[in-house]
Amino acid sequence: MKIQRPSGQINLMALGLILCLLLVIGGALALYHFKGRNLTVQDITAASKLYGLEFSLKEQKMMLKDLRSNLEKFRGMREIALENGVAPALIFNPLPAGFDLASLRENTTFIYDEPEEVKLPENLEDLAFYPVTDLAWLIKNRRIGSEFLTRLYLERLKKYGPKLRCLVTLTEELALQQASQADRELAAGIYRGPLHGIPYGLKDLFATRGYPTTWGSPIYREQQLDINATIFEKLTEAGAVLVAKLSMGELAWGDIWFGGQTRNPWDPEQGSSGSSAGSASATAAGLVAFAIGTETWGSIVSPSTRCGTSGLRPTFGRVSRYGAMALSWSMDKIGPIARSVEDLALILKYLVGPDGKDRTVFDLPFAYNSREDLKKIRIGYLKEAFDRVRNNKDKYLAVLETLKALGLEPVEIKLPAINYDLISFILNVEAAAAFDELTRNNLDELMVRQGRNAWPNVFRQARFIPAVEYIQANRLRTLLVEEMARMLKDIDVYVAPSAGPNLLLTNLTGHPTVVVPCGFDDSGHPLSISFTGDLFAEGKALRLARAYQLATGWHLKHPDLSGLEKLEAGNRPVK
């Protein structure tokens, strides 16, 4: 017996099959579109406007198939995981043509003025503001122990760190182990040098095995890297004691991180600037003897200015960046923040040199002579930069008068004529590549700072900077390197207010800068001046900056922290 199905049921089944088929076809078309196979000449016309280019219809049709092929290659590349630490094969070289490396290799002089005697203060907590040179003498001569000093700094970090929002992780267990070892070694007659037993802090972008490395972002708040940064290894070998990992602006921009805004100890209502925000704030507040920061475009100079510390941005290629968060492979630099120029020289001595991991590092000695005849140093000054100053101009001009009183004759110089602001997007492109995954997976929406002037927007817009223009910008950068070499042919060091165009220029060319306090404004906020030297000639810039410091004494002042008690704390430190 036959069963006759109603025709309506057959029609419904047929309709269902048709709908399924349409969904499959639609999905295939969507995938086809997703892969870029339906790119059209209209897309090329619209995209070309972003780059100021024009192509004829014939030219557009001719490139269409290749553009589709390129897009498929891009998608294939994105399936290969690239960790932040993987550097491009293209390496920036700051050396101009004919640069004399041989003479640098021959000069291995390192002389600093070790104190003849250092007295203990009546209030031992005042040791927190002693420079490294004095603390080193006290430890070497066993007037204090490293463990005592370490506990002093740890207690200050617990008390003031959350209030200043400069502390991310307290490395107390590690610190006490390292301090105890330093004391035992000294008792056995083993002395590693001036950093032996000295407590310090690291900007929280350096990998330290066993502790979080958060990069200042909630995205990486729980991140633990199973490596040690070279900078940490070198300082450990020198006998230094890590007491804390300090705040940084999220992904190395500004002073705002997931724990809030890092505060300036001189004025807690003001941020400490960035991105080495915690390194400068903690040093100024006497929470560490010194700290390590990084700079790509002002991140040591700016917070050192705001917090009244001494800072050194070394030559690009001077210090290994292995184990440090990469923001811009061709601009990132690592340097110390401390209380005096002499401290900066002592610390840099232990940081320089290759490690076989960062291929940008040159194998060159660091030469410094604190007794070098000042009159042998040829000095220039950026008159245009001094003329541009609108506020506190008298304080900056007083720097020149101090140098003249030291018997020096600064000569007027001018910066290269090329408009280097035109190529500042080099940083944006490299940063967008370093954090490509955040943009493509919409993780950038989890970042603390949003808006036009923040990383998420910068990462996105940088995707539309053509590779050709990035290469052209770096060719212009070559011209800047050569022009700087010509400018520095007749001088060794030049002086300039710390803010202004010199900051971007020297970060692009890789030249070293020492920044030191030069007074206070009418509101009691620190001001600073910068001494810029030739490539790998940090020693001369440090010598001149030290002479200025000794003649003025601005670096001896420190903030009063009594008003911090009433302030709301930021992120609680991780122990």
Give pLDDT tens digits for 460-515.
999 999 999 999 999 999 999 999 999 999 999 999 999 999 999 999 999 999 99
Q: Catalytic residue, from 247, 272, 279, 299: name it.
A: 299
From 203, 234, 245, 333, the catalytic residue: 203
- Burial classification of residue 414, based on how many CB atoms lie within 10 Å of its CB (0-12 exposed, 13-18 middle, 19 or more buried): exposed
Distance CA 132, CA 116 (A): 14
The stretches in the chain having pLDDT less than 50 are: 1-10, 12, 19-25, 27-34, 574-575
**Is 180 an active-site residue?**
no
Strand segments (E) across 521-556: 526-533
Q: Is the dihedral of CA 270, 279, 320, 226 positive or negative?
A: negative
Q: For the beta carbon of residue 467, count every other beta carbon within 10 angstroms.
A: 8
Please tell me the pTM assigned to this model: 0.93
Is there a catalytic annotation at residue 203? yes
- Cβ atoms of 272 and 230 within 8 Å: the answer is no
Q: What is the dihedral of CA 102, 103, 105, 106, to 10 degrees?
A: 120
Of the residues 272, 275, 302, 528, only one is catalytic, namely 275
Amino acid in the structure at residue 32: Y
pLDDT at 6: 42
| Topology, domain 119-420+449-566 | Amidase signature (AS) enzymes (3.90.1300)
Catalytic-residue membership of 275: yes
Buried b (16+ CB within 10 A) or exposed e, 439-452: beeeebeebbbeee
Task: List the domain boundaries for the chain.
Answer: 22-78, 119-420+449-566
